[in-house]
Amino acid sequence: FFFSLAPHRLGARSSRALAKMDGGSSVMKGRQNSRLPPEVNRILFVRNLPFKITSEELYDLFGRYGAIRQIRKGNTKDTRGTAFVIYEDIYDAKTACDSLSGFHVLDRYLIVLYYQPHKMNKKTTLSKKAEELEKMKNLAKSKFGVTGKEETK
């Protein structure tokens, strides 16, 4: 099963503009007083994307929920199947995340999460610390002949 593409791309993107011209619709009024959880932001991290999906299809799929500022699709071996989708409005990002989590695309189910930079940074710092530890062990072995294991007598 493949998702259907919107016949035109302006439909979802112009809904906010129409609401402003309309003098504010019920959609816009509901947004003014709602509180969002702290992890909600405009940047979505998408995993489990089909490798064959194009950027145009991503814009069509995610553009249904609001204006998109940018989409970054992974293109290296480590980042294939992932993308970052950045919306203009935080409420559009929330709607897209709620609607597209678990969405079936080309025999895969999408995993849509809010981008949380502090969690991403923890992973990179942990790997950097492990590399530094290995360098220190190798330095200790070469300079002092230390193996890292205590000898028992």
Q: Has residue 66 got a pLDDT over 90?
A: yes
User: For position 90, what pLDDT does the model report?
Assistant: 93
> From edge to edge, which strands make up the β-sheet containing 83-87?
68-73, 83-87, 43-47, 111-114
Residue range 94-139, pLDDT digits in tens: 999 999 999 999 999 999 999 988 776 666 677 778 888 888 888 8
∠ CA 128-39-103, nearest 5°, is 95
pTM of the complete model: 0.60
Please name the helix (run of DSSP H) or strand (run of DSSP E) that holds residue 41, with its range, or none: none
C-alpha 12/C-alpha 135 separation (Å) is 52
List, in order, residues 6 or more apart from 36 with CB less than 8 Å away.
Answer: 90, 91, 94
Which residues, listed in sequence order, are joined to residue 9 by a DSSP beta bridge? none
